[in-house]
């Protein structure tokens, strides 16, 4: 895995590899990251160039305290929880699907 240091501008609060990518050795290692800067990002951990590694970025507009993967069998989706006790689900392209 390469070091990608400028994807987020504040403390990183979650890092998780996509479980479906780890099952197939030829698939890229997709990394979900979330931060107190409000960004949720997916990147290819195998890519050396940081600009080329970032796949998708979504801005929730509030500090993200935790995040993870869900619905991997039906297409990767991510969930996120904020510091303000709110919850959201994101598509595989880090587009907001549902906000509760």
- Band of residue 59 on the pLDDT scale cut at 50, 70, 90: confident
Does residue 2 belong to any structural domain of this protein?
A: no
Does residue 1 belong to any structural domain of this protein?
A: no
Query: What integer is the mean pLDDT of 30-56?
Result: 85
Does residue 100 belong to any structural domain of this protein?
A: no
pLDDT over 90 for what percent of the chain?
9
Burial call 63-99: b when 16+ CB within 10 Å, e when fewer? bbbebebeeeeeebbbbbbbeeeeebebbbebeeeee
The overall average pLDDT reported for the chain is: 77
Does residue 7 belong to any structural domain of this protein?
A: no
Angle at 84 between CA 99 and CA 13, to 5 degrees: 90
Does residue 87 belong to any structural domain of this protein?
A: yes
**Domain ranges, residue 85:** 12-95
Query: What integer is the mean pLDDT of 40-67?
Result: 86
Higher pLDDT, 20 or 92: 20
Is the overall model pTM greater than 0.85, yes or no? no
């Amino acid at each position: 895995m390469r070091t990608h240091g400028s994807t987020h501008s504040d403390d990183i609060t979650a890092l998780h590899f996509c479980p479906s990518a780890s099952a197939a050795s030829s698939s890229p290692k997709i990394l979900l990251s979330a931060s107190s800067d409000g960004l949720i990002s997916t990147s290819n951990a195998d890519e050396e160039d940081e600009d080329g590694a970032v796949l998708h970025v979504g801005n929730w507009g509030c500090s993200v305290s935790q995040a993870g993967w869900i619905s991997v069998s039906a297409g990767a989706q991510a969930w996120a929880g904020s510091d303000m006790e709110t919850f959201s689900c994101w598509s595989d392209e880090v587009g907001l699907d549902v906000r509760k």
